[in-house]
Amino acid sequence: MPQPTKIPRAFASSGDKNTIPDSTGSIGLASWSEGFPAITSTPFAQGGVAPKRADFNGIFNALSTVTLWYQQGGVFVYDNATNYEIGNLVIYSGEIYVCKTANGPASALHSPANDTAETYWGRIYPQNGTFDRIFFSQSSGSYTAPRTGAYRITLKSGGGGGGGQSANDKNYCGGGGGEGGTLIFYITLIKNVAYDYIIGAGGSAGDNGVVGGNGGLSQFIYSASQNFRINGGFGGQAGDENYPCGGRGGFTYSAPASSEVYVIPGSRGGTGGYMSTQWPLAQGGGSGGGLTGGTPLPGVNGGGGGGGGNNRGATAGGDGYILIEYAG
C-alpha cells in the first residue's frame, strides 16, 4: 500500500463545531456513546429533528485531530483511565514504554512507575551502537543490570610479569610480559539480575633470573552453565645469554555457542637485550618493555610488565578490567 496523502490540518479547524460529549440528554445532539440519536432519522412529520452541522464538524474534527497526531509520530502520555492492550505505546516521564501485559481500570492498574519488574511495561531503548552509559571496574565483583536489553561488554585479562635480570650475568635484561587478551561481546541482560565477574590480576615480576608470572584470566558469568573468559598474557623470560623473548600476549578464550564475540590478542612483550652497543637494549613491545637503569623504554600501552636490567628488578603485569556499556 502506498503512503496516503498526509492530512494538512484537523477537519473544520477554523469552522464552527460542537464538542462531542460521551453521552448527552440534549434532543437530537450526537454523543460518543450513542452517535446520532434515533430521532435524527425520524420523519419530521412524526417529530423527528435534523442532525446538527456543528456535530458533524465536531466529530470529524476530533477524529482527524487524533489521526494528525499519529501522522506526526505522536504517542499518547500514559493515564490510569485507559485500558491498554499488548503492543500499545505510551510516554511516561518523557520516555516511551510498550505494553507487555494488558492492564487498566478494567483489570488492574499498573503504571510504568511502579512496574519495577517490567511485567506490564517495557521501556524502549536505543538499538546497539548508541550505548551512552558505562560501568568500569578493575576488581572482581558483581554487576546488577539496571534494565533489560542489549549490552556490550569488554573483558581484559591480566598482563604477564616481566622476566628477571640474569642471575649469572647482570648484563642480560629479562623480557617484558605479554599483554592481556581482550574479549568484546554483545549480550542481553535482565533487569535487577546480578552477574558475577572475575578480573585477572597481573603476573608477578621475575627477579634474579626468574621468569615473570602469567597474567590471570578475566571472566563474565552469565549463568551457571554459560560464561565468557579470556586468558592472560604470558610472563617474560629471564635474562640470559640467549637474549630472552618477551611473553606472548593472551589470546585463548571461551564463550557460549552462537555468541557474537570479538577477540583482540594481546601483543608480545619486549625482547630482552645485552647491555652493550652490540645488541639493542630490552625494548617495549605491546605490553611491557625492558628496564635500563630503572627507566622504562617506550612501548604500546598494555598489561605486561617490563623486564629487568642493569641491576633493576622487573615489574609486575597490569591487572585486567571489565567495561560494560548500555543505552541509558
Average pLDDT, the chain: 83
Instruction: Please give the average per-residue pLDDT across 177-206, as a whole number.
Output: 91
Secondary structure of the chain in HEC code, one letter for each residue:
CCCCCCCCCCCCCCCCCCCCCCCCCCCCCCECCCECCHHHHCCHHHCCCCCCHHHHHHHHHHHHHHHHHHHCCCCCECCCCCCECCCCEEEECCEEEEECCCECCCCCCCCCCCCCCCCCEEECCCCCCCCCEEEEECCCEEEECCCCEEEEEEEECCCCCCCCCCCCCCCECCCCCCCCCEEEEEEEECCCCEEEEECCCCCCCCCCCCCCCCCCCEEEECCCCCEEEECCCCCCCCCCCCCCCCCCCCCCEECCCCCEEEEECCCCCCCCCECCCCCCCCCCCCCCCEEECCEECCCCCCCCCCECECCECCCCCCCCEEEEEECC
Residues 167 and 289 grouped into a single domain: yes
Residues 311 and 266 grouped into a single domain: yes
Confidence grade of residue 294 (pLDDT, cut at 50, 70, 90): very low
Residues 173 and 291 grouped into a single domain: yes
Residues 150 and 278 grouped into a single domain: yes
Amino acid (one-letter) located at 171: N
Instruction: Please give the average per-residue pLDDT across 133-137, as a whole number.
Output: 92
Residues 207 and 106 grouped into a single domain: no
Looking at the predicted structure, is the pLDDT value of residue 280 above 60?
no
Residues 183 and 234 grouped into a single domain: yes
Spatial distance between the Cα atoms of 228 and 10, rounded to a whole number of angstroms = 56
Residues 116 and 31 grouped into a single domain: no
Confidence grade of residue 114 (pLDDT, cut at 50, 70, 90): confident
The C-alpha cell at 98 is 510498550
Residues 81 and 57 grouped into a single domain: no
**Terminal CA-CA length for the chain:** 36
Residues 238 and 185 grouped into a single domain: yes
The domain that contains 80 carries what CATH number?
Answer: 2.10.10.20
Q: How many domains does the chain have?
A: 3
Residue bearing cell 448527552: 24
Q: Which residues pair with 326 in a beta bridge?
A: 133, 151
Spatial distance between the Cα atoms of 163 and 264, rounded to a whole number of angstroms = 24
Confidence grade of residue 283 (pLDDT, cut at 50, 70, 90): very low
Residues 58 and 136 grouped into a single domain: no
Instruction: Report the predicted TM-score, pTM, of the whole model to 2 decimal places.
Output: 0.61
Of 115-119, 147-151, 161-165, 307-311, the poorest mean pLDDT is in: 307-311
Nearest by Cα to 35 from 47, 11, 52, 48: 52
By residue range, what is the domain housing residue 132?
A: 126-328
- Using one digit for the tens of pLDDT, what is the confidence trace for 20-76? 999 977 889 999 999 999 999 999 999 999 999 999 999 999 999 999 999 998 999
The C-alpha cell at 71 is 501522522
Residues 56 and 98 grouped into a single domain: no
Residues 137 and 253 grouped into a single domain: yes
- The answer to whether the beta carbons of residues 210 and 164 sit under 8 Å apart is yes
Percent of the chain scoring above 90 in pLDDT? 50
Spatial distance between the Cα atoms of 178 and 251, rounded to a whole number of angstroms = 10
Query: What pLDDT is recorded for position 216?
Result: 94
- The answer to whether the beta carbons of residues 272 and 163 sit under 8 Å apart is yes
